[in-house]
Structure 1
Amino acid sequence: MHIRDLPHSDPGEPDVRSGFRFLLWLFRKQAGGQAQALLWGILHQASIAMLPLALGLVVQAVVNQSGRDLALTGLLMLGITLSMTLADTMLHRRAVTNWITAAARVQQLLARRATQLGGMLTQRVAAGEIVKVSTGDVEKIGWFVESVSRFGAAVVVALSVCTGLIIFEPQLGLLVFAGVAAVVLSFVPLLPAAVRRADAERGKSGRATELASDTVAGLRVLRGIGGEELFLDRYRRASQEVRAASVRSARMWSLIDAVQVVMPGLLLIAVVWQGAGMASEGRISTGALVTVYGAATFLMFPLRLFQETAMAFTFSRPSAKRAVRVLGLLRETGGTDAGAGQQGPLGGDLSDPASGVVVREGLLTAVVCGDPNTAERLAERLGGHPIHGRGEPSALLGGVPLDEVPLATARTAVLVQDKDPVLMSGTLRELLAVPSSGKVEVTAALAAAQCEDVLAALSRSSAGPAGDPMEARITERGRSLSGGQRQRLALARSLVTDPEVLVLDEPTSAVDSHTEARIAEGLVELRAGRSTVVFTSSPLLLDRADEVVFVPDGRVAATGGHRELLSSHAGYRAVVTREPQTSHYAEETA
């Protein structure tokens, strides 16, 4: 796998049983790249490990006053240098490739899961955690997956060097081996505390990120009610908590670094002390002493890799757990395959068994709930988005459960526009370039959504030829537009898609009554013969609906025309006209 081959054609199905299993799955998915990194790493570190031997031969050649041995040793050092340079270059290339490809695979998996879950994702996982997983956690996971191969190379070469020293000079070799083991074991007991502090820092950082995103999203409202400083103070306090937790975590890692400096230093002192004594007694040659000292010095390099891998695992383990929590979320189904073999497009009446709502094919149906939360849950069910943990039955389209058909089929058949739709940054042309049937022109959708003033405003800010509004750029989440303008552009985008069933949740709540009346006319005209569901309590929309369904407490209470329900149902009248219920209930029960 090369970087130029990204993105992956198929990122695969991850093992989400645990964070550690997920890391192992990532490692297996790029086993070929890891094997290459391991081989290049062994060659690189073995070349470095040969330098002490070459230095020992050089010293011994000088002691022996042998020009021939000195020349041969010089050629050996040249070969070692060339080998080390080549191996280091290729190891770096392969390690970076492994890091990037692992991170890209995780990002693709997260993007695929977010696409499958849609708006349900943020209902199950906090927005701050999603941001944390898709940014910093992805890099930490890639770092660990990449470091495993270099760790493996360090283990192989370190054991080989220790074994060679024991064979070459048993007394000093055993001393070096015991010292290496002591260095490794000295920082292992500190890792659990470092993990706990790192987890605490990440948790506080995630909460601060979520608070920041919420504050930015609601900044306009906060300024309107004078609550900007209150939320900024909350974010400042959260930031200080993150800073304090980061300092505590850094102190522990500083202690581990200090141990990694002190312990190898003590090892080198012990080797020099013992070796000097042996050399003075004539039990070891000068060249051999230089070789042993150089080998002990080299072993500090793989020991640093051991620490780096331990740090990478410490940081990646909670990151992998968070990634697994997101990747483990599935679109809930009824557990059968009754609709899996559905051939062709779905069609027919749309019904919700939980509430009793029935949307007849080809009609404009208005649903009045009174409670926004009830309307939101009902709109999600009608769109085939199950409510997590509620155990509610799926909506049926033409008698087929929506949660038992392929996700792409369900979303092509039923489109749900939230009451707070999101506009992505980019040009207006890009915003409206959505999958569609092709039967609804962009101009017709914009006209039906009454976007004339929006187009005029965008044409003035457009950098395109002759002020083309389609080339005007829309900022992130449409923040440069008013609430009504954002709402109408989102409605135009939904109309362009031309789904079999279009579900609109309060599509005109941010526009004035005159614009709302024109939108109602355009909606009726453009969606003629197609099923449309509008959640609203606006008389202007209700009066243009073919059928109105009143769902006050999650169950259908009345069905009929708007004027008919106004005169016959006091509960409906109270919701639509904002008037208190009176003795009209007596008329209903009489």
Structure 2
Amino acid sequence: MPAPPSSGRTLLSRALGRRLRLLLPGVASLSVWQVCEALVPVAIGVVVDIAIIPRSLPMLAVAVAGIALLFTVLSFGYRFGARLCNAAREHEAHALRVEVSHAALTSPDLPPDRASGEVLSIASADADLAAEVFAHLGRGVAALLGMIVAAVLLVLSDAVTGLLVLVAVPIGLVLVALPGRAVSEKAGAQLAATARAANSAADLMRGLRVIKALGGSAWALRRFRATSDEAAVAGVATGERSGRLSGVGALVMSVVLAVVLVVAGLRLIDGQMSVGALIAILGMTAFLTEPMRALADIVGLTARSHGAASRIAALLTDLEGTHDAREAPAGPGPAAPPHTAPPRTAPRVSITAHESGLTVSGDAFPSVDVPAGTLVCALVDDDALAHYVLTVLTSQSRVLGPHHLLVTPHAVDLFEGTIRSNITMSSGTDTADSTAVPPATAPTPAPPTPTPAPGTSPAKRPATAGGAVAPAVLAASGAQEVLGLVVDGLDHRIQELGGNLSGGQRQRIALARALHAQSRILVLHEPTTAVDAVTEARIAADIAGLRREAVTLVVTGSPAFLAAADSVVYVPAGAPAVTGTHSELIGAPGVIGDAYREAVAR
């Protein structure tokens, strides 16, 4: 996959390059429309000189037919030009949304200074605003060409007046363009504040039930009001700068038009131009008001699009910083070191997935091979170190694919739909969603799933198709108990974020989703913290039986999983790692045994 754009200008240049097929004919059509607009006052002046003043009915009929043809071309030029530019805008907005979503979904983890609500805001509002550059470009080029044609016609009608316009208009455009950078900066600040408000709203909505239960509604309202006020202030500042820019543009253009009108009037009094020429000049001068003001507005609007594009480019760069898929190998052997550095106070731990299982290695202890057909638990005292280990594995899973390596986080995310769709991650139909990703943003095809080594195979369970879920998966995850409490079973509707389920029910459905994937190597992080001890023990035993021909690694401190595991890798804080069974470690003498017993005590 190519590197993400390094700046907003690079992103916009790339967007323009890949939409030329729509943009070029769109700009050409809009230019035809604007040129025809410029010719309208000329046509009226000609009609006055050749038909009205001589009182010639035949010439009047010809003139009316010509004006009708001119307006026909004018109308169709705008119709098709606007349609093509809008199509380019919508296609590019969609491509940017897909690109941001793909980068966020395939990144091992969000950067620490990025939140999901901010990513959502950038993938929606910023993508749409950045794509608006196509509408601005089409209108801007057409306006500029219309002004040039009008200036040329003015020179042909009256050289003095035309030269005056050719000199005054560029000066006016330069004066209008000067404040553009300030508008871009204010627009970027507004979008950032809006993203913070969106993230705050998403955070509060996620914990709305807890907030109400604890009586924190007033606190939540104050918190959101503060972030929303920041976004409002930033929006007012952007509007103020944009309004000033529009005002300066209108003032400059009005001065230019006033000077042109005065000069043309004086030349008419001196008899240096005809009545038709005067009408044409006045009409073209009035016409110039629209494209000149449009250009003044487009400068500010383009600056806002540039600010949005800069935010998208910055996010893509940050996500690329946590994504080492391009450097990590797809086959056996250690993965490339991730961008996320391990904690400085803890020993470096690396867990590498390969065709015969897992290899656990580190600075302070020798490598430990975890062969296929085993359930291994990793107990890590340092939370930061555990997060680093999971980040390493997540980076490798992006390369190997979920059929070979699947890492499930502790945080449970369910989606609006049914229990079935949340387990199978499909719409419940026999075929997966085949919506094509636009070529410009399509992800690099994943490497083929490595062929299992002799004597190994994925976890066995009854073959399923479409939206079917194996009973063994439901039993091993404890989700079967959840189905017994609802009316529609697997087709029971789940509200947004699983709001109509308890924490334990959400965890069991998420665990069923992980088991349903049939990954050769499955990594779970604290999968049963919200279920009771009896159910947890049964789930641990059932998972060990269900995945007896695959590799399962559970990062947990649960005594039930530790007891069911074939081996345990214990990593004390600031000390070398040790391996053994749960009974061996809990009965070990000395400091290690004391630390292990304290870690698993509940």
Distance 1:103 1:14, change over 3 A: farther
- The structure in which a higher percent of residues are helix is 1
Q: Which moved more, 1:356-365 or 1:569-578?
A: 356-365
Distance in 2, Cα, partners of 1:473 & 1:122: 33
- Residue 489 of structure 1: aligned partner: 509
Instruction: Find 1:111's aligned residue among 62, 83, 101.
Output: 101
CA contact (8 A) 1:144 1:309 kept: no
Equivalent residues in 2 for 1:168-317, closer than 5 Å:
168-317=157-306
Distance in 2, Cα, partners of 1:170 & 1:151: 26
User: Given residue 122 of structure 2, which amino acid in structure 1 is its aligned partner?
Assistant: V
Instruction: Find 2:358's aligned residue among 350, 374, 383.
Output: 350
What secondary structure is seen at the aligned counterpart in 1 of 2:569? Answer: strand
Deviation at 1:122, TM superposition (A): 5.1
CA contact (8 A) 2:416 2:496 kept: yes
CA contact (8 A) 1:23 1:145 kept: no
Is 1:505 equivalent to 2:525 in the alignment? yes
Instruction: Find 1:379's aligned residue among 382, 386, 390.
Output: 390
- Residue 359 of structure 1: aligned partner: 370
Q: Which moved more, 1:71-80 or 1:257-266?
A: 257-266
- Residue 89 of structure 2: aligned partner: 99
User: Given residue 332 of structure 1, which amino acid in structure 2 is its aligned partner?
Assistant: D
- Residue 395 of structure 1: aligned partner: none
CA contact (8 A) 1:346 1:413 kept: no
Distance 1:105 1:337, change over 3 A: same
Which stretches in structure 2 are left out of the alignment for 5+ residues? 335-352, 427-457, 463-468
Is 1:518 equivalent to 2:529 in the alignment? no
Distance 1:423 1:268, change over 3 A: same
Deviation at 1:128, TM superposition (A): 3.5
Deviation at 1:554, TM superposition (A): 6.5
- Residue 485 of structure 2: aligned partner: 457
Deviation at 1:24, TM superposition (A): 0.7
Distance in 2, Cα, partners of 1:223 & 1:134: 30
Is 1:86 equivalent to 2:110 in the alignment? no
Distance 1:481 1:547, change over 3 A: same
Distance in 1, Cα, partners of 2:326 & 2:139: 46
Deviation at 1:341, TM superposition (A): 11
Deviation at 1:102, TM superposition (A): 1.1
Equivalent residues in 2 for 1:556-571, closer than 5 Å:
556-568=576-588, 569-571=593-595
CA contact (8 A) 1:419 1:507 kept: yes
Distance 1:541 1:341, change over 3 A: closer
CA contact (8 A) 1:359 1:533 kept: no
Is 1:576 equivalent to 2:600 in the alignment? yes
CA contact (8 A) 2:27 2:85 kept: no
Deviation per CA, 1:189-211: give whole Å up to 9, x if none: 33233223222222222222222
- Residue 391 of structure 1: aligned partner: none
Deviation at 1:258, TM superposition (A): 2.5
Deviation at 1:346, TM superposition (A): 4.9
- Residue 424 of structure 2: aligned partner: 433
Is 1:551 equivalent to 2:541 in the alignment? no
What secondary structure is seen at the aligned counterpart in 2 of 1:299? Answer: helix
Distance in 2, Cα, partners of 1:437 & 1:144: 51
CA contact (8 A) 2:257 2:285 kept: yes
Distance in 2, Cα, partners of 1:194 & 1:423: 41
Deviation at 1:233, TM superposition (A): 1.0
Deviation at 1:124, TM superposition (A): 6.3
Deviation per CA, 1:326-369: give whole Å up to 9, x if none: 33333226957584999xx9521312333656433211111112
Is 1:152 equivalent to 2:141 in the alignment? yes
CA contact (8 A) 2:359 2:370 kept: yes
What secondary structure is seen at the aligned counterpart in 2 of 1:543? Answer: helix
User: Given residue 267 of structure 1, which amino acid in structure 2 is its aligned partner?
Assistant: V
What secondary structure is seen at the aligned counterpart in 1 of 2:500? Answer: coil
Deviation per CA, 1:17-63: give whole Å up to 9, x if none: 32211111111111121110121011111111110011112222322
Distance in 2, Cα, partners of 1:418 & 1:338: 22
Distance in 2, Cα, partners of 1:43 & 1:370: 70
Q: Which moved more, 1:431-440 or 1:253-262?
A: 431-440
User: Given residue 202 of structure 2, which amino acid in structure 1 is its aligned partner?
Assistant: S
Distance 1:338 1:112, change over 3 A: closer
User: Given residue 347 of structure 1, which amino acid in structure 2 is its aligned partner?
Assistant: E
Is 1:332 equivalent to 2:324 in the alignment? yes
Distance 1:471 1:280, change over 3 A: same
User: Given residue 265 of structure 2, which amino acid in structure 1 is its aligned partner?
Assistant: A
Is 1:322 equivalent to 2:311 in the alignment? yes
CA contact (8 A) 1:141 1:319 kept: yes
Equivalent residues in 2 for 1:3-22, closer than 5 Å:
13=2, 16-22=5-11
- Residue 414 of structure 2: aligned partner: 423
- Residue 586 of structure 1: aligned partner: none
Instruction: Find 2:552's aligned residue among 522, 527, 532.
Output: 532
CA contact (8 A) 1:15 1:21 kept: no
Distance 1:554 1:447, change over 3 A: farther
Deviation per CA, 1:377-427: give whole Å up to 9, x if none: 22332x242xxxxxxxxxxxxxxxx48xxx352433111111112112212
Deviation at 1:13, TM superposition (A): 4.2
CA contact (8 A) 1:414 1:499 kept: yes
Distance in 1, Cα, partners of 2:423 & 2:477: 13
Which stretches in structure 1 are left out of the alignment for 5+ residues? 1-11, 386-401, 460-467, 579-590
CA contact (8 A) 2:35 2:149 kept: no
- Residue 448 of structure 1: aligned partner: 476
CA contact (8 A) 1:363 1:531 kept: yes
User: Given residue 520 of structure 2, which amino acid in structure 1 is its aligned partner?
Assistant: E
What secondary structure is seen at the aligned counterpart in 2 of 1:17? Answer: coil
Give the TM-score, by structure 1 length: 0.85
Deviation at 1:453, TM superposition (A): 3.4
Deviation at 1:153, TM superposition (A): 2.5
What secondary structure is seen at the aligned counterpart in 1 of 2:110? Answer: helix
Distance 1:15 1:549, change over 3 A: closer
CA contact (8 A) 1:417 1:494 kept: yes
Identical columns (%): 28
Distance in 2, Cα, partners of 1:15 & 1:547: 43
CA contact (8 A) 2:559 2:600 kept: yes
CA contact (8 A) 1:34 1:146 kept: no
Deviation at 1:457, TM superposition (A): 3.3
- Residue 441 of structure 2: aligned partner: none
What secondary structure is seen at the aligned counterpart in 2 of 1:533? Answer: strand
Distance in 1, Cα, partners of 2:332 & 2:283: 67
Distance 1:340 1:262, change over 3 A: farther
What secondary structure is seen at the aligned counterpart in 1 of 2:579? Answer: strand
Deviation at 1:268, TM superposition (A): 3.0
Instruction: Find 1:542's aligned residue among 554, 562, 570.
Output: 562
Deviation at 1:226, TM superposition (A): 4.5
Distance in 1, Cα, partners of 2:326 & 2:248: 56
Is 1:73 equivalent to 2:63 in the alignment? yes
Output the aligned Cα RMSD: 2.6
